[in-house]
């Protein structure tokens, strides 16, 4: 039903054109399509960028008084507002979701031009985030009807090294405390997703903070949506920091898959992309743990350490991943680059408890990631003491 996560992370960005340029210059995307005054659209301007199968849409209001976009921007700042799914039968899925109680933000409607027709519909999910269903079986245009080729292409882009990013691996949604399970149940009930994997705060914690996470997936397991919530710790977790600065639940990060993470990260760093840094002690522990594992990492560990790429593994395989710093001023949305080596998250939780710091879906790296984020939180003055009633106090 939901064949793939197409990506449109439709966002409301204050500097939408500059944001699209940032993703092209720093991450290796290319301008794909444009909609605005020059194409006959009088209300909203949209810039579409693409790399591999990944598409991001940066949208902003053209006129003063756009209440919907304006209020979203004031409340949340820059962020991913909509996650779009390619579907085969939009009408059927919307009807079934309606019967199960889902809120239909926009009933199925058709866009059409000389290249064909596309049917779309919009559903409300957690917080102010939405899902757009896109049925485009025979459409031959660039992106969607009404979109034209970009007005400008930066000649410098062709001179920069490739980003080597291929497709969306997963999209993570952060929830306030005790709201993770209801969101998971929403996906199970309304979209017929299933629980793919889960982990609790006893397994995902640092000395200061903790989280709980459940991954939901579609039937084909081509769409994966981890849902996180904070757990009580000594200090405010990054999940809680996100919820406070975003003004509620929302998309925390988007993971982009690559087949060559070493070259990709070298290229992205050469383009000026900034990533989180983990301590050298992480790699000392990694080498120690690998000595007792059946898995063999084919990449040079010295290079992975140099680039600060994380490694997560079990006896079936391993994955490599790295996280950017927040890609806007608020400490909210960031990005991930991930490469999988026969590591698809099909792991047994009882086995996980034996592995301690080695979990599927990159969970073995949550501790290292949280410690890196906590260092940034401390620099922002947000690694504050958290009390049982949820009040945080500065130290």
Which region, left, alpha or beta, applies to residue 254 given φ > 0 means left and ψ of -120 to 50 means alpha? beta
9-24 mean pLDDT: 65
CB 27 within 8 A of CB 268: yes
What is residue 18's predicted lDDT score, i.e. its pLDDT?
85
392 forms bridges with which residues in the sheet? Answer: 386
DSSP3 helix / strand / coil % (the chain, rounded to 5): 30, 35, 40
CATH architecture of 167-386: Roll (3.10)
- Is 47 part of any known ligand binding site? no
Is there a binding annotation on residue 170? Answer: yes
- Is it true that 2-150 and 167-386 share their CATH fold? yes
Instruction: Please check whether residue 29 is in contact with residue 103, taking contact to mean a CB–CB distance below 8 angstroms.
Output: no
Domain 2-150 sits in CATH 3.10.180.10 = yes
Res 39 pLDDT > 60: yes
pLDDT of residue 210: 74
Q: Binding residue per annotation — 341?
A: no
Q: How far apart are CA 29 and CA 2, in angstroms?
A: 25
Length of the chain: 395
Provide the β-strand partners of residue 132: 84, 122
* Domain spans in the chain, listed from the N-terminal domain onward: 2-150, 167-386
How distant, in Å, are the alpha carbons of 195, 202, 259, 313, 370 from that of 353? 19, 10, 29, 14, 19
Average pLDDT on 312-332 reads 90
For the chain, the maximum distance between any two Cα atoms, rounded to a whole number of angstroms, is: 63
pLDDT, greater one: 290 or 365: 290
Position 11 confidence tier, pLDDT thresholds 50, 70, 90:
very low
Report which DSSP code applies to 148: B
Write down the pLDDT at residue 6: 43
Q: What residue ranges in the chain does DSSP mark as E strands?
A: 2-12, 30-35, 44-51, 54-61, 80-87, 104-113, 116-124, 130-135, 167-174, 194-199, 210-217, 224-231, 250-257, 310-314, 317-323, 334-341, 385-386, 392-393
Tens of pLDDT, residue by residue over 251-276, are 999 999 999 999 999 999 999 999 98
Residue 361 predicted with pLDDT over 50: no
Torsion of CA 20, 26, 27, 29, to 10 degrees: 40
The whole-number pLDDT of residue 16 equals: 59
In the structure encoding, which two tokens stand for residue 177, read together? 């405390």
CB burial readout 116-129, b (16+ within 10 A) else e = eebbbbbbbbbbbb
Q: pLDDT tens digit string along 86-142?
A: 999 999 999 999 999 999 999 999 999 999 999 999 999 999 999 999 999 889 999
Q: What angle do CA 255, 193, 182 make, to 5 degrees?
A: 90
Q: What is the mean pLDDT of the chain?
A: 84
The CA–CA distances, whole Å, from 72 to 59, 61, 64, 254 equal: 12, 11, 14, 20
Dihedral Cα 303, 308, 309, 313, nearest 10 deg: 90
Cβ atoms of 216 and 194 within 8 Å: the answer is: yes
Per-residue pLDDT tens over the stretch 153-164: 899 999 999 999
pLDDT in tens, 129-151: 999 999 998 899 999 999 999 99
Report the alpha-carbon distance of residue 333 to residue 336 in Å, rounded. 10
CA distances from 247 to 49, 66, 79 (A): 27, 20, 11
d(CA 226, CA 133): 19
């Amino acid at each position: 039903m939901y064949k793939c996560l197409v990506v449109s992370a439709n966002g409301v960005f204050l500097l939408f054109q500059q944001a699209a340029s940032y993703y092209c210059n720093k991450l290796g995307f290319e301008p794909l399509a444009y909609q605005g005054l020059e194409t006959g659209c009088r209300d909203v301007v949209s810039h579409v960028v693409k790399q591999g199968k990944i598409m991001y849409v940066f949208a902003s209001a053209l006129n003063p008084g756009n209440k919907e976009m304006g209020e979203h921007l004031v409340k949340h700042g820059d962020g991913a507002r909509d996650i779009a799914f390619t579907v085969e039968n939009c009408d059927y899925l919307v009807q079934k979701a309606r019967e199960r109680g889902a809120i239909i933000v926009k009933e199925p409607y058709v866009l059409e031009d000389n290249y064909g027709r596309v049917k779309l519909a919009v559903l409300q999910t957690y917080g102010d985030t939405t899902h757009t269903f896109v049925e485009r079986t025979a459409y031959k245009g660039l992106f969607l009807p009404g979109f034209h080729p970009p007005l400008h292409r930066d000649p410098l882009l062709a001179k920069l090294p490739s980003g080597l990013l291929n497709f969306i691996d997963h999209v993570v949604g952060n929830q306030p405390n005790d709201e993770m399970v209801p969101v998971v149940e929403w996906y199970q009930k309304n979209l017929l997703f299933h629980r793919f994997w889960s982990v609790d705060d006893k397994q995902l914690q640092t000395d200061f903070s903790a989280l709980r996470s459940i991954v939901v997936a579609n039937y084909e397991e081509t769409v994966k949506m981890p849902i996180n919530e904070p757990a009580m710790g000594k200090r405010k977790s990054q999940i809680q920091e996100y919820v406070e600065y975003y003004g509620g639940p929302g998309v925390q990060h988007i993971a982009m898959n690559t087949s060559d993470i070493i070259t990709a990260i070298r290229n992205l760093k050469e383009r000026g992309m900034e990533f989180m840094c983990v301590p050298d002690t992480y790699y000392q522990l990694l080498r120690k743990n690998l000595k007792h594992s059946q898995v063999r990492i084919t990449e040079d560990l010295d290079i992975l350490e140099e680039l600060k790429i994380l490694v997560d593994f079990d006896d079936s395989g391993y994955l490599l991943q790295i996280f950017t710093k927040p890609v806007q001023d608020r400490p909210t949305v960031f990005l991930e680059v991930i490469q999988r080596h026969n590591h698809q998250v099909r792991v047994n939780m009882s086995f996980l408890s034996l592995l301690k710091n080695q979990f599927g879906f990159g969970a073995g790296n949550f501790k290292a990631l949280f410690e890196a984020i906590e260092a940034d939180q401390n620099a922002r003055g947000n690694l504050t003491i958290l009390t049982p009633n949820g009040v945080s106090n500065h130290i």
